[in-house]
Structure 1
Amino acid sequence: MTSLPDPWPAPRATGPVDAVVTLPGSKSLTNRALVLAAIADGPSVVRRALRSRDTSLMAAALTALGSAVDTSGEDWTVTPAPFVGDATVDVGLAGTVMRFVPPIAGLSRGTISFDGDAHMRSRPVGEVLTALGELGVRVEGTSLPFTVHGTGSVRGGTVVVDASASSQFISALLLAGARYEQGVDVRHEGKPVPSLPHLDMTVAVLRHHGVEVDDSDANRWTVAPGTVRAADHVIEPDLSNAAPFLGLAAATGGTVTVRDWPRETTQAGDALREILTLMGCEVALTDAGLRVTGPTELQGVDLDLHDVGELTPAVAALCALARTPSHLRGVGHIRHHETDRLAALATELGGLGADVTERPDGLDLRPAPLTGGVFHTYADHRMAHAGVIVGAAVDGVLVEDVATTAKTFPDFPGFWSGLF
């Protein structure tokens, strides 16, 4: 990719945008598939794998532990092997790597050291590490950097966690649980678990590998001990990454079709269909994909985004362009994502003229004229998505560090610019 100016001038639409988009694969599905393939009973293929920084970090982590991960083609082959020897894992800015790899590192025979980008040192992982200690894994540290001392097996059993900050705390334990001697019985105590669709995704991927999972009780998930069967995956498009593209249709009164939108999915991004309809868009799921046509004027919304918090930045950007007030709530947990997304959105949208009030668990936005200026991203790809959406409708928006979008979408700036 060619070097980009920083801050990057976000393309301004001169009229309704009309585009058909093919998205890269889902990061969430790719990384779950890679983890399970690495502890399966034979080789697995992850077809149409997302090639991005987060997934490359996961592949590198699993390779460091001992698996062979061939990422040379569009379809990635994972050949599991015993985890033997010491290793160092770079989690970068990937929450899935920081949280999903330690539970399988407990199965290794070696000392596994974890560290990552400076921004990651404030992201919570202590619940996972404390739970591992209770399940029989020796762990040094409760935040990055930390070390897992593997003995080749993990006792497992029952553990209580507070997953109100991230559903990944539960997913991390479930993904490794079948390989533990007693399996795992994970019970949540605390405020409601956010992003439940991601837990549904974890359960579905486990079952695809033949793992017995019981999620019939509220706030309790059990994984029976047993074999993780080798299984191939075909990765769906990343529907959360569709947010800026469908937002482009909404912001410009244009039409954007995202190809290969699944008719059934566990991805949180599927909620965009309902959200954009509420904002006045015409939304149709066709054989060609999901087609969204934006209205003449966007309508504000009153939404609880607790289960789909990752969509908040893109939705907030559209609310800042709407002609009526909006109230976004239920997303206090996104303060612990790549950055404090609520504070960042209030600051950056406000800096462009938006009338926005930050609440403990959300944002209130009222109609106001927006102007150009620098939109900071805080090394957060979703913040960059919010910036380019506003930039499509407002002159002179400059997005700082737009390259952070490589976390889940390689060459996003070039792809985005090609739509105008």
Structure 2
Amino acid sequence: MNDIFIDVDYAQMYKHGQQIGGDVFLLSRNPESDQIVCTLSDGLGSGVKANVLASLTAHMAHKLSFSPMDLTHSAKIIMNTLPVCKERKISYSTFTIADIRHLSLDDIRVNLVEYDNPLSLHFKGSECLSWNREKIDLMREGAFKKEELICSHFKLEVGDRLIMFSDGVTQAGLGKALPLGWRLDGVKKYAAQVIEKNPGISSHDLSLAIVQKANTLDGLSSKDDITCVAVYVRAPRRTVVVTGPPFTKDKDALLGEKLKQFEGKKIVSGGTTALIVSRLFDKKLKVDMHCWSPDVPPSSTMEGVDLVTEGMLTLSKVANVLEAKTPTNKLPCDAVKKFVEILQDSDQVHFIVGTKINEAHQDPNIPVEIGIRRTIIGRLRKALEDNYLKETSQEYL
């Protein structure tokens, strides 16, 4: 696993009264080439029509970004494909595309293309940096004003952030709290204050803070779709999940050593596994009845371990939640919710899977969804990688 993680997340709020947004954000990672593509598109107007226009633009930009074609050339193709509104004489959709390539430990390159969205911000710590942008004039029939495609290239280092947003952010408070809106300078100052106050703030929390501030400036009644995307280069948050006893008892010590040496959060899943770790660590297990539900056995506490749970049933339910992308705020306060929260807060998840056969799990009377441990771990890894873009790995003992 890499020693650098590129944390990408976004927050969004629809225009007041709308059930669907006109801003569309797409994110994809290509692990084979260490490429990340972020695409933010803003459709003309709001609601269903704007969503369709933005979705078409975003998906087109996304597909072209993963092609061998130069990103600037791809953007020109998108612009020539996008129609111009006959009434307003402006494009049906705007977009920002960030193509991020993690070439080596100290070489992270960004190819950025911006069309009619507010200019993106690049922060090193709480300091906002400037960089050279190339403007390409576009000559499109039917447009009433000169159009520009803005292209730029720069590098990101550990601690750097890239922030992108729709005009719902910069125009927040327009005509109310602020006569000319929040504007780019206002967003820049606020983001700097948030980062300075919390230097390690995640992309999720930073983008959410900016969106909530914009909505506050709109009097908690957003006048447009508000979307903010944050990219943060940092050391990865790691979690290890240990489940199942080793194949032979003489490997118990190896299991304990791997768990002790791991730097990050630690989850032990399974009663027998928990007893082995308790014996090796010489720490007591205590059942935690403060957080439980009738669906799964309660979790336990042990010094040196972040979470201890029952095994197969809990793992199976965690897999179901991750596969369905169920929000944690809709889950009962139990071991499954704690498990999912830790996994979602991690960037890299490593599974240590014991291979000793538990005859109870071969009983045909046990529900099929419990399955075999290795099958459930496979489901967990697939859900984490496909639905949450996490890095996962596993080993057997």
Q: Same fold (TM over 0.5)?
A: no
Q: Highest Rg: 1 or 2?
A: 2
In terms of fraction of residues, the more strand-rich structure is 2
Q: Return the TM-score normalized by structure 2.
A: 0.31
Whose RCO is larger (CA < 8 A, sep 6+)? 1
